Structure 1
């Protein structure tokens, strides 16, 4: 008998999320479970939400009306937090997917995590780090639906997250351009990323220092909010290869990919000689 599907509540801050990416968000949520609760919060009298109105019925998303009681204040955030806590106390969900680029939801995410539920965040690249880092996994909307950009694009000299990326033209409709793969030299300069990857490989390594890629991914997920697509790579193996500090090989007895830091590989070869 197969395990039952995980039940996830999809809560959308329509004031701080683009409607154009909802198809990709739902496809991503489907990887973790079924979104049996789908709600979008906002002042639906506002002309800014016209784009969302067009997709609500198509994707069976329930609009939650929230009037702006004070000028310049967003009451939708409070309504979304109250609903999230009500859903949490009902004890019939396994996770939450929160679509917003607003860091004000960080305390909510941290509270949900203390009850043992997963929180999957989705927001634009402008989303502040506290919200990104608080989630079990956070995926930039610009990273969704890009296909396998992979290492080849980075090797071809495409811009990463630096000045070149900032100069890239905006996508139609005011959305940010897709995330380009960060080149290897930039990745190697990201101390936080390297410490995360090295620590995960070390924790999952066998006596020879090799670690199964799947185990490395699990270790990373237990330590921090991480998605290789946020760096421009569809798969973790693509990201590791682009960094250039890890050796990857397929197990002889299976299709499983294994990882070893290159320094350890060189030391092992020297010892064997």
Structure 2
């Protein structure tokens, strides 16, 4: 598989289930995983409910795909996205897909793309049904793209910055971190942080340190005060690699 930083990605946006204000932050997030060679937004552009999209589509060079709502209560947009996704899949030009929607109707599409060996990144609100989240390799909550939210939405998160005591009290989080570190560790208990992150994402596609108020996984792990962190240089001119170890594995004496 092509490295993530060179992956050719197709970005398909369900405009009926996404906010136009997210596009800049969305594509900045997509750039972490590869290059967006296709950027399309689907919806009935003749209606009034999508009128706020135009300036964002133009600014980010996103192609609007017209799909009329043939019958009330039936989502023709979803069907159009699925058909286009399969066409792009069969073109064999892409390494992965970014599906932007909070709609569970895309669960089977995500699973089908993964069955073909492609990486699937999902983007949606926290209300996104768990089956769709689990069907993706990685799922990013729009709320974690902070500049896309309003000041009112950001303020409560800033006021309730998660302290070490609160993190330790989150048994699910602590167990997730400890199990991942243990799975990736060497005989001395040290694990490369990158490997730890990969293991967690495979177990929980929607895991994101930003959910807990921290930009990076290393910051989150440090904040728990339950782990040691160590930077190691692999050689001259190369970036340092961060390793972590559960403090319970620290040698006695």
- Do these two structures clear the TM 0.5 threshold for a shared fold by scoring above it? yes
**Whole-Å separation in 2 of the counterparts to 1:179 and 1:232:** 11
Q: Who is 1:81 aligned against? A: 82
Counterpart CA distance in 2 for 1:27 and 1:109 is: 21
Partner of 1:257: 242
Structure 2 residue aligned with 1:62: 63
Q: 1:200 aligns with which of 176, 180, 189?
A: 180
2:116 is matched with 115
**Range with greater deviation from structure 2 (254-263 or 35-44):** 254-263
Whole-Å Cα distance in 2 between the matches of residues 89 and 252 of structure 1?
Answer: 43
1:43 Cα deviation (Å)? 0.8
Paired with 1:18 and 1:96, the residues of 2 have a C-alpha distance of: 19
How large is the RMSD of aligned CA atoms in angstroms?
2.6
Distance 1:42 1:130 in 2: 23
Residue 191 of structure 1 and its aligned partner are, at CA, apart by 4.3
Match status 1:142 vs 2:143: yes
| Residues 101, 8 of structure 1: alpha-carbon distance in 2 compared, 3 angstrom cutoff | same
Distance 1:251 1:10 in 2: 36
Number of aligned pairs?
Answer: 243
CA contact (8 A) 2:42 2:65 kept: yes
- Asked whether the 8 Å contact 2:8–2:34 carries over to 1, the reply is yes
Counterpart position of 2:51: 50
Matching residue of 1:159 = none
Contact 2:146–2:154 (CA under 8 A) maintained in structure 1 = no
Could you tell me how far 1:104 is from its partner in structure 2?
1.6
Q: What's the TM-score once normalised by structure 2's chain length?
A: 0.85
Alpha-carbon separation, structure 2, partners of 1:46 and 1:253? 56
Q: Deviations over 1:46-83 (max 9, x none)?
A: 21111112221221111111111221332101111111
Normalised by the size of structure 1, how large is the TM-score?
0.80
* Alignment match, 1:124: 125
How far apart are 1:38 and its partner, in Å?
A: 0.8
Cα distance in 2 for residues equivalent to 1:82 and 1:178: 40
How big is the shift at 1:253? 7.0
The alpha carbon displacement at 1:186 in A equals: 4.3
Say whether 1:241 aligns with 2:222: yes
Segments of structure 2 that go 5 or more residues without pairing to the other structure are none
| CA distance in structure 1 between the partners assigned to 2:132 and 2:153 by the alignment | 19
The match for 1:163 is none
Task: Give the 4+ runs in structure 1 shifted more than 6 A.
Answer: none
Most deviating of 20-29 and 102-111:
102-111
Instruction: Give the gaps of 5 or more residues in structure 1.
Output: 147-169
